[in-house]
């Protein structure tokens, strides 16, 4: 188990934290947690403000393939794969790789990229519908923190079960009280968040032995 940033080549964007804090409301939070049209393709007040493929996941997919030494014919799963952008780019990065995704959002799965139709599964990170050890690597980026702490443990155990430790999980975190305050002014969907040491205790409780990193609002 190691701390490794597999999203280091993901483009950084400037976030208008003040605007999000002003717009945030219980209604917006509840709507975003439905993971429907409003979350993916509505306004920035309730989610992405338009979740469209632009190729930005290609370098991340390349780094994932290199990190795990993935080869054609091997199987990889993206838990929380949304519309399948990373699944699509994993197949680009390693032609012949059997890449699949899973998401709780019916809207995302039904509006996935054409190249991944049939590879995106509707499902829940707390009970992954696949046999033990059925993937050569499992990825989950900014997904499992969207359930409560006990369910984070369940989700990590499921990822461990499928991957036998060949996994990568990235979750919402913060390193200082100031970063925590900034995070709380921005967050819409995360039920679970903590300092890195708190997350490491969750990983240990789950018996998770894969790699990990943090999404920090800056």
Domain that holds residue 197: 17-215
CATH number at residue 165: 3.40.50.150
- 172 assigned to some structural domain: yes
- 4 assigned to some structural domain: no
In Å, what is the CA distance from 25 to each residue of 31, 84, 190? Answer: 10, 29, 14
- 8 assigned to some structural domain: no
- 152 assigned to some structural domain: yes
- 30 assigned to some structural domain: yes
pLDDT surpasses 70 at 24: no
Question: Reduced to 3 states, what is the DSSP secondary structure of residue 216?
Answer: coil
Entry pTM: 0.93
Tell me how far apart the alpha carbons of residues 158 and 161 are, in angstroms, rounded to a whole number. Answer: 5
- 185 assigned to some structural domain: yes
Residue 177, C-beta contacts closer than 8 angstroms, at least 6 positions apart: none
pLDDT digit string, tens, across residues 87-133: 999 999 999 999 999 999 999 999 999 999 999 999 999 999 999 99
- 56 assigned to some structural domain: yes
Tell me how far apart the alpha carbons of residues 171 and 187 are, in angstroms, rounded to a whole number. Answer: 12
Per DSSP, the chain holds a count of helices (H) and strands (E) of 9, 6
Question: Reduced to 3 states, what is the DSSP secondary structure of residue 54?
Answer: coil
Q: Could you tell me the pLDDT band of residue 200, with boundaries at 50, 70 and 90? A: very high
Mean pLDDT of 53-65: 97
> CB of 112 within 8 A of CB of 83?
yes
pLDDT digit string, tens, across residues 135-149: 999 999 999 999 999
Return the ∠ at Cα 59 (arms to 55 and 97), rounded to 5°: 90
How many domains does the structure of the chain reveal?
A: 1
Q: Could you tell me the pLDDT band of residue 152, with boundaries at 50, 70 and 90? A: very high
């Amino acid at each position: 188990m190691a701390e490794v940033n597999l999203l280091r080549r993901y483009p950084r964007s400037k976030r208008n934290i003040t605007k999000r804090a002003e717009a945030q409301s219980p209604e917006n939070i509840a709507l975003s947690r439905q993971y429907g049209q409003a979350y993916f393709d509505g306004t920035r007040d309730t989610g992405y403000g338009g979740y469209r493929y632009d190729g930005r996941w290609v370098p991340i997919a390349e780094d994932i393939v290199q990190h795990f030494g993935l080869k054609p014919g091997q199987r990889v799963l993206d838990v929380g794969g949304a519309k399948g952008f990373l699944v699509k780019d994993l197949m680009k990065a390693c032609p012949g790789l059997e890449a699949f995704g899973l998401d709780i959002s019916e809207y995302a799965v039904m509006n996935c990229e054409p190249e991944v139709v049939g590879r995106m599964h509707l499902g829940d990170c707390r009970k992954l519908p696949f046999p033990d050890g059925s993937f050569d690597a499992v990825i989950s980026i900014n997904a499992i923190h969207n359930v409560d702490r006990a369910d984070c443990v369940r989700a990590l155990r499921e990822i461990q079960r499928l991957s036998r430790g060949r996994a990568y999980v990235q979750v919402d975190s913060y390193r200082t009280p100031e970063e925590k305050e900034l995070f709380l002014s921005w967050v819409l969907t995360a039920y679970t968040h903590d300092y890195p040491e708190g997350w490491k205790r969750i990983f240990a409780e789950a018996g998770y032995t894969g790699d990990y990193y943090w999404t920090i609002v800056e």
